[in-house]
Chain A
Amino acid sequence: MLTVAGLESGYGASTVLHGVDLSVAAGTVTALMGRNGMGKTTFLRTVVNQVPARRGTVTFKDSDITRQSSHKIARAGLGYVPQGREVFDAFTVEENLRLGMLGHGRGKDPVPQRLYEWFPILAERKSQKAGTFSGGQQQMLAIARALAADPDMLLLDEPTEGIQPSIVHEVGETIARIAKETGLTVLVVEQNVDMVLTVADTVAFMDNGVIVEQCGRDALEADETILHRHLSI
């Protein structure tokens, strides 16, 4: 589904990604872990071309999207939930969800009912402003918004960051359920080990802008030293 080869990017004079190679198979959930500042967010932002790639290629569904503009990448079926959720505070839940569809030329369609089935809280608060939501509710809205246009793959940047521990598990379960029900391919940047064990089939570790190790969830559960090696400071 998504193949990244030798990807390099950065900001100004500094280089953050030093040649990332990563492949995500269709229908799988991959978690990307690593310490803070190792380039995970920059990696996702480079994939959707919010940060331009300096070298390397990004291939999505067999076409090269390395230098495509962000909105065309989205229209090709690659959804993106940015770090910090970035919901539109001043807009209602329904307007946020409709924005997920308008850019795809689906402004005439109603908001898909299954979004409300996956996230019942959104159905209850359709006409409430997103700015009044808690962090966890905003996260659910951001995920639902990215799913509104029915993407083939979803990039999630730290969906559990800054939300209540009680909701972390719920979000994880829901993502796992959606992936299972729809066959959605997911690449999730995540620090929370419980979350990763709940959703991921495979886990990749990033260190200093390169992928240093990749393993299955089972291997991660069996061998604690993997996590220590890549996440402890």
Chain B
Amino acid sequence: MTEVFAIGLNSLSYILILILVALGLVVVFGMMGVINMAHGELFMLGAYTVVAVEGAGAPFWVAVLAAPLVVGAAGLVIEWSLIRHIYHRPLDTILATWGLSIALKQAAILVFGPASHSVIAPIQAEVSFGAFAYPAYRLLLMGIAVAVIAAVFVIFLRSDFGLQARAVIARPHTAASLGIDTRRMYRVTFVIGTAIAGLAGALVAPLISVDPQMGLGYLIPAFLSILVGGAGPLAGVLAGGGVVGGTDSILTIWLSPVVAQIAVFTLAILVIRLRPQGILGDKS
């Protein structure tokens, strides 16, 4: 029984991190048609921010707050120098951001070295549920992730900013002719997307080893989550993240991680074959 409980909570924390990473990807793709192959490296940058800030002697929570700011600032520079020149050219964005991802990885190797770093969880305590104890940090991480996911939904579905953003997605020319600064909307959205990736990387840093290759391991399942869930509505990411993350973490218990990943890929192919619009996506 306690084992099932642990598996459930571990799956949930993985799913929530995956949704955070996928949300950043999907707002950027939905808004400007940019498929950001460097999103995983922005996630990595968030984790390295924690390594650097902690290394400088600051406490973990300061590092977690710094991560979205640092990565968001990097996003601003990336948008200005690279992305704004290739809006709405999906193929070009794949190549350009892929190049960027290689550059960021090499930069991480140059600055931090090729070896992995570990970040100690700031809270070592465990919360006990009867006979079963679970790390408090993981519970806190889940709470923060849920809050951030909810905030993103509120921003994009309930606020005036979100209304304008969705108008720009639906009809960019018309939105501009109503006085909406589409370029500014793109820039702000890109920075939000990158800042979320940075925060996700920082939060997950104590749970995994921080190394230059860590981004890919989250980028691919995040892409799968979007494809499986359907890119249109934000809610699709929740469904996709649940299916992909849940399947992966549950299968990993019985199978080797590699076989589990093969199973997840197969499942994703099946879903995409049978429902090309995604689980929640509509036909258009």
Contact = CB atoms under 8 A, between A and B. Distances in A.
B176 interface: yes
A107 B178 contact: no
Interface stretch (A3-11, A94-102, A158-166, A223-231): A94-102
Contacts of B173: 50, 70, 82, 86
A177 interface: no
Contact of B180 (A73, A90, A102): A102
Contacts of B182: 71
Interface string A51-94: 00000000000000000011101110001101000101111000
A102 B164 contact: yes
B174 A86 contact: yes
A104 interface: yes
Contacts of B180: 71, 99, 102-103
A149 B171 contact: no
B181 A99 contact: no
Interface in B133-181: 160, 163-164, 166-167, 170-171, 173-181
Interface in B186-209: none
B175 A48 contact: no
A103 B178 contact: yes
Nearest to B164: A102
A145 interface: yes
A75 B179 contact: yes
B176 A70 contact: yes
Contact of A82 (B170, B174, B181): B174
Given A88-B167, A88-B170, A91-B167, A102 B160 contact: yes
Given A71-B181, A95-B163, A107-B160, A88 B176 contact: no
Interface centre among A48, A70, A79, A90 (most CB of B within 10 A): A70
Given A70-B176, A99-B163, A86 B181 contact: no
The number of chain B residues touching the other chain, given as a range, is: 10 to 19
Interface residues of A, number: 27
B179 A104 contact: yes
Contacts of A146: 178
A2 to B, nearest CB: 15
Nearest to B167: A99
Contacts of A88: 166-167, 170-171, 174
Contacts of A80: 177
B163 A91 contact: yes
B178 A74 contact: yes
8 nearest interchain CB pairs? A103-B179, A70-B176, A103-B180, A74-B179, A86-B174, A80-B177, A104-B179, A75-B179
Interface of A: 48, 50, 69-71, 73-75, 79-80, 82, 86, 88-91, 95, 98-100, 102-104, 107, 145-146, 149
22 contacts: A48-B177, A69-B181, A69-B183, A71-B177, A73-B177, A75-B179, A80-B177, A82-B174, A86-B171, A86-B173, A86-B174, A88-B166, A90-B166, A98-B160, A99-B163, A99-B164, A99-B178, A100-B178, A102-B163, A102-B180, A103-B179, A146-B178
